Amino acid sequence: MTIEDNCEIGNFVTICPNTYIAEDCKILHCSSIGEIPQDLKFEGERTKTIIGARTKIREYVTVNRGTKALGQTQVGSDCLLMASSHVAHDCILGDNVIMSNLSTLGGHVEVGEWAVLGGGVLVHQFTKIGPHAFIGGGFRAVQDVPPFIMAAEHPLRYKGVNSVGLKRRGFSLEDRRSIKKIYHMYFKSGLNRDDALKKIETEIPPSNSKDQIVDFIHTSDRGII
């Protein structure tokens, strides 16, 4: 176990072996970091938990270590895990992720940078949440949620581009308009998804945002919401 400089650890926090906590983290009372996975296939293998710098972990949060499938669970830097949220084995969280109270990740979930999960959000194992995505409180993700969007309702569906979040993070008006046009083609054009994706690839000008969206959709294993 390694805890770097300037970390604050509250009362009754359990930090298990093979856990690395980077500098300037704050872990509040009664949290459990690096405990063995809740996975019946786990056989006691030596795996890790990694917490990035300046991450804040509130009361009663649980972060389980990895299994031999990946070898580690990783939480990025500058994240906020609010009270009673849960990060299961082999999850990977990017930087600046926010998990609101009672939000829960199944095993092997990937959450991109700057994504926000509302209170009580449930994410099925092996699901991917794209960078800058926002999932409204109380909803459930069983398929992949692409970058830059807001998602809500049962079953979870596209509810628009996360324009406020993107503006706060310095995305230009041109970028935001391009992202909105891409998702209108994909979700709202009436084309089937394969044809919509081909139209996006041929008609939308090149950009980093376009590349992120197209790559995310092409590499989705569980399908897009």
Quick count: other Cβ atoms within 10 Å of Cβ 90? 26
Q: What percent of the chain has pLDDT over 90?
A: 100
| pTM (predicted TM-score) | 0.96
Helix axes 173-183, 208-218, angle to 10 degrees: 30
Q: How far apart are CA 138 and CA 118, in angstroms?
A: 7
Point out the catalytic residue in the list 66, 76, 86, 90: 90
Q: How far apart are CA 148 and CA 114, in angstroms?
A: 9
Is 89 noted as a catalytic residue in this protein?
A: yes
Point out the catalytic residue in the list 34, 52, 106, 107: 107
Q: How many domains does one find in the chain?
A: 2
pLDDT in tens, 188-205: 999 999 999 999 999 999
pLDDT at position 38 is 97
pLDDT in tens, 10-52: 999 999 999 999 999 999 999 999 999 999 999 999 999 999 9
Q: Is 31 within the bounds of a domain?
A: yes
Q: Is 90 within the bounds of a domain?
A: yes
Is 118 noted as a catalytic residue in this protein?
A: no
Among residues 79, 97, 126, the one where a domain terminates is 126
Point out the catalytic residue in the list 89, 106, 130, 144: 89
Regarding whether 171 and 121 lie in a shared domain, the answer is no
CATH code of the domain containing 84 = 2.160.10.10
Range of the domain at 178: 165-218
Regarding whether 169 and 111 lie in a shared domain, the answer is no
Regarding whether 107 and 53 lie in a shared domain, the answer is yes
pLDDT at position 218 is 95
pLDDT in tens, 103-140: 999 999 999 999 999 999 999 999 999 999 999 999 99
Phi-psi region of 69 (alpha: psi -120 to 50; beta: other; left: phi over 0): alpha
Is 107 noted as a catalytic residue in this protein?
A: yes
| Cis before 146? omega within 30 | no
Mean pLDDT of 82-98: 98
